Amino acid sequence: MDGKAEPLDAIIVGAGISGLYQLHRLREMGMRARVIEAADGVGGTWYWNRYPGARCDIPSMSYSYSFSPELEQDWEWTEKYPSQPEVLRYLEHVADRFGLLRDITLGTRVTAARFDEAAARWTVTTDPAGELAARFLILATGCLSVPKLPEIPGLDRYRGRVHRTARWGAGEESFDGLRVGVIGTGSSGIQVIPVIARQAAELTVFQRTPNFSMPAGNRPLDPAEVAGMKARYRQWRQAQRASGFGMPSDPPTRSALDVSPAERDAAYQAGWDRGDLTSLIRAKIRATVHDRDLAEALSPRTFPIGTKRPCLDTGYYATFNQAHVRLVDLRATPLAEFTPAGVRTSEREHELDAIVLATGFDALTGAIAAIDIRGQGGAALADAWRDGPRNYLGLAVAGFPNLFTITGPLSPSVLSNMMVSIEQHVEWIADCIAALAAAGRRTIEATERAQENWVRHVAMVGAVTLFPTADSWYMGANVPGKPRVFLPYLGGVGEYRRKCDQVAAQGYRGFTLA
Ligand SMILES: Cc1cc2nc3c(=O)[nH]c(=O)nc-3n(C[C@H](O)[C@H](O)[C@H](O)COP(=O)(O)OP(=O)(O)OC[C@H]3O[C@@H](n4cnc5c(N)ncnc54)[C@H](O)[C@@H]3O)c2cc1C
């Protein structure tokens, strides 16, 4: 990449769902934009997380772009919850269909970005070495794109195979006849464990915190159901945008206490059978797992339901009834170190031929913090965010003009169907850039005051819920030393959209335009 080339209108970092759509949208406006992506292909999350069993937990027909009615009608989803290969195929199709690849540089990481005040433009530095300049810098770097390693020493000493769910390569699928250990029982662990159990000679699951999980009830899509959704897609999309979490649902019309126990149980059971109920779980674990102590060890007790990301699974709890599957409760016997032969807990060494790390992500801020970003006066974003992220609307940061984040911290992001939140941000950013151009302005920057109010509002909305009571990645609690801040915005997708639209309609209230 040649920094002396004519500056672009926009540089977009990341070629996942966000970056692909942002590029398309800006190009449609006649702007010159380029996407820089570290991976060797497009797809983001769905490129990197190729572990066996990886699956989306939002129904496919709702976890898809809405911006193109033709795409929506043409694409044929095959399952209720799409597998990773199917989502990746879809995103590759989108990149191909809209001719996006010619403006995407793959295999290149953005390492630094600095704002030149005189020229009112961003210059980014990349690895492999290169420089690129543009009026706007848009971080489509992902909420869950920086995987974490376990916090114990010795991984480099371990002589067996190491797999990471978030960096799964081709040809890593067979565990036939091996003694396998899986560390981590979050969403990825819960998906990969039943699949590996079918292959491994012995499977040891190392669990720090049990999670609430419900049966996904995945199944092939029925052609009549697909046709029905396609006929009402436009209304459905509208309802998604106005909903709380990007998935429309009918609000309850009666209190659980107003009906008989039998009626209540029947309603709960119906919800369970549909795979969308978040109660009853502990009772279901006891009914599924034969060994009482094991059932108890798998039952979440330390946080209220819903305050950590609830999981959907396919046969997770039943997997533990198999004689060759063992659970190690790390609350009782914590991990101490990797050894050449496996891992050691406070109790003993476990010898393993392969270890699968499903140990989560440095969520929401990790990928942004990994870039050395310098704004007005050379100030570092890392310093501005030392005590936790501070921004306006989860979209823009005071002191960092013409910088936008897609589904950044303090926006609904991970507490929503991300597809809906991503489209909203992409469209808001594109409209904002168009409005600036129309007004003959070069820069837009959040004011300190608007930022302060937004940070306070997000914290206040979070504080009236039970979310801050859980040691979750929503709180940054899974990363040692990360400030304890409730990272997503809980105000709801529809309400949040309304607020963003209002800001735009009022001439970008809370921003300085120059
Ligand atoms: C295993 C897993 C399952 C998920 N399941 C669901 C689900 O069921 N429903 C849901 O709504 N959401 C789910 N998510 C969240 C998911 O991340 C989003 O739905 C969506 O894919 C995010 O798209 P994105 O483009 O914003 O980010 P990503 O898909 O994370 O893409 C970001 C891209 O930016 C690149 N990048 C980052 N930093 C740099 C840099 N400095 N230089 C160059 N490139 C960079 C990364 O390589 C990556 O490709 C899941 C996430 C994971 C990890």
pLDDT one-digit tens code per residue, 448-457: 999 999 999 9
Work out the average pLDDT over 352-370: 96
Segment 286-327, tens digit of pLDDT: 999 999 999 999 998 888 777 777 788 999 999 999 999 999
Which ranges in 331-375 belong to alpha helices (H)? 366-369
Quick check: 141 and 12 in contact, CB under 8 A? no
Nearest-CA residue for ligand 1 atom 34 is: 14
Nearest-CA residue for ligand 1 atom 2 is: 45
Cα 439 to ligand 1 centre (Å): 34
The distance of Cα 53 from the centroid of its chain, to the nearest Å, equals 17
Nearest-CA residue for ligand 1 atom 35 is: 14
Provide the 3-class DSSP secondary structure of residue 112: strand
Nearest-CA residue for ligand 1 atom 52 is: 45
- Computed on alpha carbons and rounded to an integer, the radius of gyration of the chain in Å comes to 23
The two tokens of residue 135 are 């009026």
Cα 143 to ligand 1 centre (Å): 6
Nearest-CA residue for ligand 1 atom 27 is: 142
- Which residues, in sequence order, are bridge partners of residue 405? 139
Q: Among residues 429, 451, 22, 65, which one has the least CA distance to residue 233?
A: 65
End-to-end CA distance of the chain: 29
Answer whether residue 480 shows pLDDT above 60: yes
Cα 41 to ligand 1 centre (Å): 13
The position carrying tokens 């915190």 is 209
Q: Which residues make Cβ contacts (< 8 Å) with residue 244, sequence separation at least 6?
A: 492, 493, 494
Confidence of residue 274 (pLDDT cuts 50, 70, 90): low
Helix axes 17-28, 418-438, angle to 10 degrees: 30
Q: Locate the ligand 1 atom nearest the alpha carbon of residue 81 and give its number.
A: 8
Q: What is the pLDDT of residue 252?
A: 56
Q: What is the pLDDT of residue 13?
A: 98
Q: What is the DSSP string of 295-343?
A: HHHTS--SS-TTSS--EEESSHHHHTTSTTEEEEETTTS-EEEE-SSEE
Cα 441 to ligand 1 centre (Å): 32
Provide the 3-class DSSP secondary structure of residue 204: strand
Q: What is the pLDDT of residue 281?
A: 81
Answer whether residue 269 shows pLDDT above 80: no
Q: What dihedral do alpha carbons 258, 261, 263, 267 form, nearest 10°?
A: 90
Nearest-CA residue for ligand 1 atom 21 is: 45
- For the ranges 139-143, 411-415, 465-469, the lowest mean pLDDT is seen at 465-469
- For the ranges 19-33, 44-58, 184-198, 259-273, the lowest mean pLDDT is seen at 259-273
Cα 1 to ligand 1 centre (Å): 25
Out of 362, 418, 474, mutate this one to test ligand 1's pocket (max ligand atoms within 8 Å of CB): namely 418
Quick check: 393 and 455 in contact, CB under 8 A? no
Distance, in Å, from the CA atom of 499 to the CA atom of 394, rounded to the nearest integer, reads 12
Q: Which residues of 21-36 are buried (b: 16+ CB within 10 A; e: fewer)?
A: bbbbbbbeeebebbbb
Distance, in Å, from the CA atom of 26 to the CA atom of 431, rounded to the nearest integer, reads 9
Q: Locate the ligand 1 atom nearest the alpha carbon of residue 126 and give its number.
A: 42
Cα 380 to ligand 1 centre (Å): 24
Nearest-CA residue for ligand 1 atom 41 is: 110
Nearest-CA residue for ligand 1 atom 38 is: 141
Backbone phi, then psi, for 233, in 5-degree steps?
-55, -45
Out of 91, 141, 413, mutate this one to test ligand 1's pocket (max ligand atoms within 8 Å of CB): namely 141
Segment 68-124, tens digit of pLDDT: 999 999 999 999 999 999 999 999 999 999 999 999 999 999 999 999 999 999 999
Q: Is the pTM of this model over 0.85?
A: yes
Cα 284 to ligand 1 centre (Å): 32
Q: What is the DSSP string of 412-462?
A: SGGGS-HHHHHHHHHHHHHHHHHHHHHTT---EEE-HHHHHHHHHHHHHHH
Fill in the DSSP letter of residue 220: B
Q: Which residues make Cβ contacts (< 8 Å) with residue 62, sequence separation at least 6?
A: 236, 240, 246, 247, 417, 419
Cα 426 to ligand 1 centre (Å): 15
Q: What is the pLDDT of residue 468?
A: 85
Nearest-CA residue for ligand 1 atom 39 is: 141
Cα 82 to ligand 1 centre (Å): 16
Task: Count the helix, strand and coil residues of the chain and give each as a percent rounded to the nearest 5.
Answer: 35, 20, 45
Q: What is the pLDDT of residue 6?
A: 75
Out of 122, 144, 245, 407, mutate this one to test ligand 1's pocket (max ligand atoms within 8 Å of CB): namely 144
Q: Locate the ligand 1 atom nearest the alpha carbon of residue 45 and give its number.
A: 29
Ligand 1 is surrounded, with C-beta below 6 A, by 13-19, 36-39, 44-45, 47, 49, 54, 56-58, 63, 109-110, 140-145, 188, 367, 370-371, 406-407, 417-418, 422
